[in-house]
Structure 1
Amino acid sequence: MLEVSVRHAFSGFTLDAAFRAPPGVTVLFGRSGSGKTTIVNAVAGLLMPDAGRIASGDWTLLDTEAGIRLGPHRRRLGYIFQEGRLFPHLTVRQNLAYGAWFAPKDAPREDMGRVVDLLGIGHLLDRRPGALSGGEKQRVAIGRALLSAPRLILADEPLAALDEARKAEILPYFERLRDEVAVPILYVSHSASEVARLATTVVAMDAGRVVAQGPAAEVLGDPSVLPAGAREAGAVLTARVARHHDDGLTELDAMGVPLFLPRVAQAPGAALRVRIAAHDVILSRSRPEGLSALNILPGVVHDVRPGAGPGAIVALDTKAGRVLARITRRSATAMGLAPGQTCHAIVKSVSVAPQDVGGARRDLAE
């Protein structure tokens, strides 16, 4: 369990944040300027805060009251930046070996062959960074970090510099790290899609404070939080692939509720996380008929949160899980929406983008 408590004052901004991160991928999520990177820099030792404590079990990196302030080189961290920052004069194999060279002799080490297979970079070993795509460079950077035998991996918006195609290429590798590697990962993002796909735990940030923390489905499904704003609101459902249909659709089983999406690559039985954006959800008090939309989820209104403008966020508890809908306050009033009322969420199959569908451990989908 990683424990972080940091206080630091800048000109015009004060960071005062505390959270506990269990194993897996802990995502610091919020708008730009909310303090996410500042926390990562404090964990890395690149910022010495005014006060705080950072520890994992009996391993203490920082304790200002006890006078413990480990330097960055003593913290045994792997840091993945927005750019790969590979050595251009070395091959991929040599860049990986450079990471392994820093691993303490008595530390448990990852096998290079396993890391190469995990990241799918075996065919790149003899190339230099100049001959790699952005996504390939990031995969090599991940491998270099893993081979240094870190006790913690820090990833500061590692996909921000990539286009959508390269993001789609590398996200599955981060999912594999989450599920197959024992090293905990502290990950910074302001992308709701990345958070929904990757996070074991979400730490929502706003103006230097932690406003919520917990499992991804719980935090992203809370209409009172919305760390990236109402436009980015969306809930996470966990499902498994039931079958692929000949018309190009994939049928999912979300806790007994069928969901139809454009064909996904995973085989029947595979567990998935699906982010459904709030602006793609339509609500109906009665079960609709004669619609082109295939996904209709009956549920009960949990909360209605009016926004500062004309909009409102409605949280609906369905058998498949929490769904959020972004509608106008006028519609919410006209429909008489209130907690406890029955309602139906309507989601077009084609509205769920490929980047909003990712892998999950199967036990979480059953």
Structure 2
Amino acid sequence: MIKLYGSQFSLYTGKARSYLKKKGIQFEEITSTMSVYKNFIVPRTGVRFVPVIQTDDDVVIQDTTVIIDAMEQVYPERSVYPSTPRLKLASLLLEVYGDEWLVIPAMHYRWNFPKKNDKFIYAAFGSLVLPGAPKFIQRIFGKKIGAKFKSFVPRLGINSDNIPAIEASYEQLLSDLNCHFKEHDFLFGGRPSIGDFGLIGPLYAHLYRDPAPGELIKRIAPEVCAWVERMISDEVPKGQFLANDEVPQTLMPILQRMASEQLPVLLDTDQRLTEWRKANPGCREVARFIGTHKFVVENVESERAVLPFALWMYKRPVDFYSGLEDKSSADQMLETAGFGSALQSGLQNHLAKVNNIIVFEDWKPDQDS
């Protein structure tokens, strides 16, 4: 049986767990305690990230997107990738949005509401160190571990100046998703797509389970809560993707929000990475952070770290679009969604993941020297 290493409060474990359940793949979940990190995860993956899966034949895979694609090869029935161009492109874009952008409200609502969240969160982190200890002991140790994750909040650009904008954007997103899920069980019809799995990570592990955002989502977005509950249940959906390659109009506000907020950051990250590569000739491995840049949410400008990893994810919809023989229907959708010619223009930097490390795909020894 497949083993899934992660935790209930891990954003990306939520994505992987939901995928395995919705595909009907049997698995055993193992909590990633400090002992598990030391004795299994780090030795087998070389990194300290979850989730990780271990297959029946002892293949170990890290990163949710890599995990899902590997499982799709083994379990191709009822693929999570729509077969039609517009639905597949939209689902790939929404995976990027969930994975790489909704981490902003996820981290804000987890770490900036201490009165409601701290006891819950610190006990959860402490359980990884001392699984059998009393809650008050777990909280003491959990606070030390949690401090590392909390320190990431300003790097994401979350600060007192733009918190009202982040909250306004998130609440409007919930409203838009609520309208969509009144009409559809999942993003693109009767079964979940890769886009659903991108969204479920932040919307379950942080924004549904944590006390403060959990109160908010339950109060203003009951249909989103119902979708979360469908996504985490053991029931395997029997429905189909929508016919005629039609992206629902109810998804356009979500795609437009991605285009207005996240797309400029992705494009600027690509340009900043080009500059970083010129300044660091000969580097194959891409640094996790490469300076800072501006971003805008709800007309409020702020500054955040430049995170090249997101380009590895964004490359997926860009490559899919590039490979389409007939791009006309996709172009129409992209124009309506506010992406303009961004995907047509492609990327300056093509990233790959090798041994769980992000590298330049076209790197050759001495190439940049």
Please identify which structure carries the higher helix content: 2
Same fold (TM > 0.5): no
- TM-score, normalised to structure 1's length? 0.25
Q: TM-score, normalised by structure 2?
A: 0.25
Q: Which has the higher contact order (CA 8 A, sep 6+)?
A: 2
Which entry has the higher C-alpha Rg, 1 or 2?
A: 1
